[in-house]
Structure 1
Amino acid sequence: MTPATPATLDAWKSEWVAHLDAEFEAAKTYRPEKPDWLEGRWKGLRTERGTAVTDTGVTRDTLARVGAALTSRPEGFRVHATVQRFLDARRKVLDDGAGVDWSTAEALALGSLGPPATRRLRGGASALAIATKSSVAIWPSLP
C-alpha cells in the first residue's frame, strides 16, 4: 500500500464532504413510507398472547410520587449548590409537565418499578451501574 500524499488526503476529504453534503440535501426531502423499524429481524414478532405490544404505562399519581422522591433529599443531607440547581430545575419540569428530558424520563421509569425492583437494585454495585445513566447522590461519612 502506498502512503497517502497531501494531495490524496485533500481529494479524499473533498469526496467525503461532497458525500455528506449530498446526504444532507437528500435528508431534507426524505419521507419514510412505513415504519422501517418493524421490518427485518423484528418482523412477525409475537408473544404467547399474540402481539408484542403491552401496556406499560403508570398513573399520573405514581409519576408525581416518583418525581417528588427524585427531587427531594433526606433531612440534613447536604447538597452541592450545582446539584441543588439540577434538582430544582427537574422539579420545575415535573411540576410543569413539559420539557421532560431523556434522563428524567428514565429516572421516572426506573422509580416507577416500585419495591419489587428495589429489592433487586440494592447495594453499591447497583448504584454504580445505575449511575452510568442516572444520578446517584452519595454523602460520604467523614470522621
Structure 2
Amino acid sequence: MKLPESAEWALHSVTALAQVPSEAVSARRLAEHFGLPAPYLSKQLALLVRAGVLSASTGPRGGFRLARSASSLTLLDVVEAIGGSADPYTCHEIRQQGRGAAPPEECIEPCLLAQKMREAYLAWRESLRAVVISELVGSLSDEVVARTRASLTRTAG
C-alpha cells in the first residue's frame, strides 16, 4: 500500500503539536519548521480538523492544536484522516474468467488471495492503532523536544 506523501506531513505535524500542547501553532509556522509548502500543508491540516484529530482557531493567537489528548490519538487516526480507511485491495473475481474459469459453486466464498490480503490489511490497521502519539513523543530525546518547542512556540523567531 502506498500512502500519499501528505501522510508523512500529517504524522510529523501531529507529533510536533503534541510537543507543544499549550500552544496553537499556525500552518505557516509548522510549514517553516518542516520546510514544507504552507498552502499544501494547510489542506492536510484541514483534513485533520475535519477528522477530529486537530482543532483550529482563528485570530492573532490562532492556529492548530490537538483536538484530543495525545494519549488518545493513534497513528491510525492520522493516517485515516489523510488517506481514508478503504481497503486498498479489490478482488475482481478473475478466477471466474478465461479458459481456467472456476464454476460459480466454487466461488461462493472470497478467494484465498482476497482473504489473505484482507487479513494483512486488518493487521496493518491494528498495528497503527496500537501506536499512541503520546508514546511517540515520550520516546523522543530531550534535545528533539526542545528544538521543536523552540521552533513552534510564539516566542520563536
- Structure having greater relative contact order (Cα 8 Å, sep ≥ 6): 2
- Structure with max Cα Rg: 1
TM over 0.5: same fold?
no
**Alignment TM-score, normalising by the size of structure 2:** 0.22
**Alignment TM-score, normalising by the size of structure 1:** 0.23
